């Protein structure tokens, strides 16, 4: 059939769209490379369908409806109409040009689980958008999952209304749900097509249809999770028993169930990535509060304790007494010296005016090198939490392994220098500031596709001068469109670099963007130093 369509190459449709090259064709339709625009012509594709008087008006109404839609993962329809070539009447639709589609990859190899996850996210996002508008795609298959400008998009020329009772005007295939010929297109029929497509992209084969028309298709156990659960619940002959798009999204990311509970948001607002939003290594260590000692249980008069009494042998008491005497001889001089020196230090500290906190920090001053000494402007809270070590322990000594648990103060992350403290101090972490933040420029049409919140996190590396030297996605979210906008905006941020020892140093930040239908917000967090 391709040879029949190839004879039209070089002709012009509707005196505007030249048929430059045949890209695909069968006995039902053909797709040609064309161009649109006069001043700066751009590549596009034009699809020709023989005009059937019984269905032509319905098909044109479908294209008219699809042309009014706008979604970042849906191919745009630029034009549509009727045409005539060599005494043959055609319907034509002009669509956005895509460099390749998924059916071109599958003959060479199957997709990995990670690639399938990346593909499935935008497809689910589009289906949620269409179903919310009372539309169905009607023909999900690998050739209709296309890539343009590094962005995954779903074809838009097969869209139809859920209210239509007629079957789709394309030929039935394994991608078509079994009930479509009788009850027409529904959201459940899209789920069936998606299940068939998932099996094919993961195995390079279509699911096995059993001889018994009432049985469900056979899905191989070799398909990895969570796709095995999804395909088996999507390829159920009874439409009411199939999973919905929201249930599929929830299976891809179980946290979406909690995010959507009790709220009117799409589960796709939660990223589909299996990586936790906050790595466990970056979580703050919780502060341990020791339980309060329990009060002793009162005993009734005349009763004895339930604990057994320890009976020592006769010779144990003299030996224990000798041991105590030896310990007293060795430890008493040190204890007395420690008390005397501690008393002297306490008296000196009390003699200083209360406005000089430097006297309180003086013992810790000996443990640090001159370059890292805390200043007198450190907050009183930080000074109070640092207990001065005994004088004899301030003398340099061979390092000994420490088995005891670190002090609670070592786990604190909220003790910072006071507002007046110089930034050159390296005792506490240095902190920079956001000098200029740039929010992504989201079009009104794209913002209208958001349900709930779309969250995207970008990790940026900041030079000592405060400029962003590198930006990469930390949590891309469910849509590549919003992820690209976020990373482009993050590259234009400017910061005040933190200072360590009086010098500006590089830093690392994570910027979380939250997109809603109303606005866009940004939440920066400094990670290093």
* Mean pLDDT taken over the chain: 73
- The pair of three-digit structure tokens given for residue 376, joined into one six-digit string: 């007198």
Output the pLDDT for position 31: 94
Out of 3.30.70.100, 3.40.640.10, 3.90.1260.10, 3.30.2420.10, select the CATH number for domain 433-528: 3.30.2420.10
pLDDT digits (tens, 9 = 90+) for 40-73: 888 999 999 999 888 899 999 999 999 999 999 9
d(CA 511, CA 186): 40
Comparing 4 with 287, which gets the higher pLDDT? 4
Phi, psi (deg, nearest 5) at residue 32: -120, 150
- Binned at pLDDT 50, 70 and 90, residue 169 comes out as low
| Domain range summary for the chain, segments of one domain joined by + | 2-96, 100-267, 433-528
Residue 499 — very low, low, confident or very high, per pLDDT cuts 50/70/90? confident
Which secondary-structure segment (H or E) carries 130? Answer: helix 113-132
Instruction: Quote the CA–CA distance of 121 and 102 in Å, as a whole number.
Output: 15
Q: What share of the chain is helix, strand, coil (3-state, %, to 5)?
A: 30, 20, 50
High-pLDDT (> 90) share of the chain, %:
38
Integer Cα distance of 515 and 454 in angstroms: 5
Average pLDDT estimate for 159-164:
82
Angle at CA 447, nearest 5°, toward 444 and 452?
A: 155
Q: Which residue matches tokens 């589960």?
A: 267
CA distance 342 to 28: 97
Nearest to 462 by CA among 511, 501, 417: 511
- Residue 502 pLDDT more than 60? yes
Predicted confidence at residue 290, as pLDDT, reads 40
Is there a contact between 188 and 171 (Cβ–Cβ < 8 Å)? no
What digits encode the pLDDT tens for the residues 347-398? 444 444 444 444 333 333 333 333 334 343 343 334 344 444 443 333 333 3
Position 77 pLDDT exceeds 90: yes
Q: How far is CA 111 from the centre of its chain?
A: 21
**Helix residue ranges, H only, 171-241:** 180-183, 187-203, 227-234
For the domain covering 2-96, report its CATH number. 3.30.200.20
What token pair was written down for 223? 């398909």
Phi, psi of 301 (to 5 degrees): -60, 135
Q: Which tokens hold the place of 371?
A: 């370059």
| CA gap 232, 244 in Å, rounded | 13
CATH class of 100-267: mainly alpha
The encoded tokens of residue 89 equal: 């009447």
Phi and psi at residue 490, to the nearest 5°: -65, -35
pLDDT at 262 over 80: no
Output the DSSP codes for 291-352. Answer: PPPPPPPP--TT---SSPPP---TTHHHHHHHHHHHHHHHHHHHHHHHHHHHHHHHHHHHHS
Report how far residue 126's alpha carbon sits from residue 152's, in angstroms, rounded to the nearest whole number.
11
Q: Which of these, 491, 472, 485, lies nearest to 515 by C-alpha position? A: 485
Whether 188 contacts 212, CB under 8 Å? no
| More confident site: 398 or 412 | 398
In this chain, the answer to whether the domains covering 2-96 and 100-267 adopt an identical fold is no
Given a cut of 50, is residue 99 above it in pLDDT? yes
- pLDDT score recorded for residue 497: 86
Q: Which of 105-109, 204-208, 314-318, 376-380 has the lowest mean pLDDT?
A: 376-380
- Report whether pLDDT(140) > 70: yes
The C-alpha atoms of residue 346 and residue 284 are separated, in whole angstroms, by 35
Residue with tokens 């509707």: 14
pLDDT of residue 321: 56
Q: How far apart are CA 405 and CA 386, in angstroms?
A: 16
Per-residue pLDDT averaged across 465-472, rounded?
90
- What pLDDT is attached to residue 323? 60
CA atoms of 74 and 59, how far apart (whole Å): 18
């Amino acid at each position: 059939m391709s040879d029949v369509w190839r004879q039209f190459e070089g002709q012009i449709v509707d005196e505007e769209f030249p048929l430059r090259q045949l890209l695909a064709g069968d006995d039902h339709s053909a797709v040609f490379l064309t161009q649109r625009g006069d001043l700066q012509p751009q590549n596009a594709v034009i699809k020709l369908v023989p005009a059937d008087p019984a269905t032509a008006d319905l098909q044109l109404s479908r294209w008219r409806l699809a042309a009014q839609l706008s979604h970042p993962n849906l191919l745009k329809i630029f034009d549509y109409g009727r045409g005539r070539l060599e005494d043959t009447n055609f319907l034509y639709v002009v669509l956005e040009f895509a460099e390749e589609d998924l059916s071109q990859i599958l003959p060479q190899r199957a997709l990995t689980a990670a690639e399938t996850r990346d593909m499935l996210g935008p497809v689910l996002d589009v289906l949620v958008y269409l179903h919310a508008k009372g539309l169905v795609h009607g023909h999900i298959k690998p050739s209709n999952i296309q890539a343009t400008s590094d962005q995954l998009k779903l074809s838009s020329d097969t869209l139809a209304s859920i209210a239509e009772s007629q079957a789709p005007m394309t030929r039935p295939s394994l991608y078509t749900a079994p009930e479509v010929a009788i009850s027409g297109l529904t959201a459940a029929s899209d789920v069936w097509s998606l299940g068939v497509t998932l099996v094919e992209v993961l195995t390079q084969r279509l699911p096995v249809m059993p001889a018994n028309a009432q049985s469900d298709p056979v899905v191989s156990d070799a398909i990895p999770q969570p796709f095995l659960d999804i395909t088996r619940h999507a390829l159920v002959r009874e439409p009411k028993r199939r999973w919905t798009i929201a249930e599929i999204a929830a299976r891809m990311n179980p946290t979406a169930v909690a995010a959507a509970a009790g709220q009117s948001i799409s589960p796709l607002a939660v990223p589909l990535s299996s990586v936790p939003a906050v790595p466990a290594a970056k979580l703050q260590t919780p502060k341990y509060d020791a339980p309060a000692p329990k009060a002793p249980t009162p005993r009734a008069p005349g009763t004895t304790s339930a604990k057994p009494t320890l009976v020592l042998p006769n010779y144990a008491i003299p030996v224990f007494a000798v041991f105590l005497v030896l310990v007293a001889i060795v430890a008493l001089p040190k204890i007395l010296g420690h008390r005397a020196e501690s008393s002297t230090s306490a008296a000196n500290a009390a003699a200083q005016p209360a406005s000089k906190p430097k006297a309180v920090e003086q013992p810790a001053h000996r443990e640090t090198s001159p370059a890292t000494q805390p200043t007198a402007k450190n907050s009183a809270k930080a000074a109070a939490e640092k207990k001065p070590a005994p004088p004899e322990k301030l003398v340099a000594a061979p390092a000994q392994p420490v088995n005891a648990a670190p002090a609670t103060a070592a786990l604190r992350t909220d003790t910072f220098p006071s507002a007046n403290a110089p930034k050159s101090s390296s005792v506490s972490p240095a902190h920079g500031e956001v000098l200029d933040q740039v929010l992504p420029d989201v079009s009104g049409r794209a913002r209208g596709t958001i349900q709930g919140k779309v969250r995207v996190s970008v990790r940026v590396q900041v030079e000592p001068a405060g400029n962003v030297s590198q930006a990469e996605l930390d949590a891309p979210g469910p849509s590549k469109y919003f992820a690209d906008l976020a990373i482009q905006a993050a590259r234009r941020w400017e910061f005040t670099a933190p200072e360590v020892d009086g010098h500006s140093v590089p830093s690392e930040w994570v910027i979380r963007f939250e997109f809603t239908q109303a606005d866009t917000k940004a939440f920066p967090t400094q990670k290093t130093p």
